[in-house]
Amino acid sequence: MADFWQRNDDKEVTLGLSADAQEKFGAIKFVDLPVVGTTLTVGETFMAVEAEKAVLDLESPVTGEVIAVNTAASEAPALLNSAQQSDNWVVTVKSA
């Protein structure tokens, strides 16, 4: 069960919470996302989530530099519960 969906576009990868993760975590109440310019490494923690069923740190499935962050999700974490990828994405990364 993967926690993220991935959309690949050339050398950019957008990550969002998968339907499986949404079901596993329950309603998202708080999220701590990285800032643009942060370097992610596969397997290293890059975001924290507080939800009704879990409080956890999530590991990056990709390596690269964060080039975009869904700041709306930081302000309204419930967006991450959406089935719409346009709402529940968390970061876009430029692949290393």
pLDDT at 1 over 60: no
Paired tokens of 30: 């708080």
Over residues 6-35, mean pLDDT: 95
CA angle 23, 9, 87 (to 5 degrees): 35
Tokens of 34: 């990285």
Both tokens of 57, joined, read 């740190």
Hey, is 13 helix, strand or coil? strand
**Which residues does residue 32 pair with via DSSP β-bridges, in sequence order?**
48
Domain count, the chain: 1
What CATH number did the domain enclosing 66 receive? 2.40.50.100
Q: Domain span at residue 48?
A: 4-95
Taking the whole predicted model, whether its pTM rises above 0.85 is answered as yes
Is 20 strand, coil or helix? helix
pLDDT at 47: 97
Q: What is the pLDDT of residue 96?
A: 77
pLDDT digits (tens, 9 = 90+) for 38-92: 999 999 999 999 999 999 999 999 999 999 999 999 999 999 999 999 999 999 9
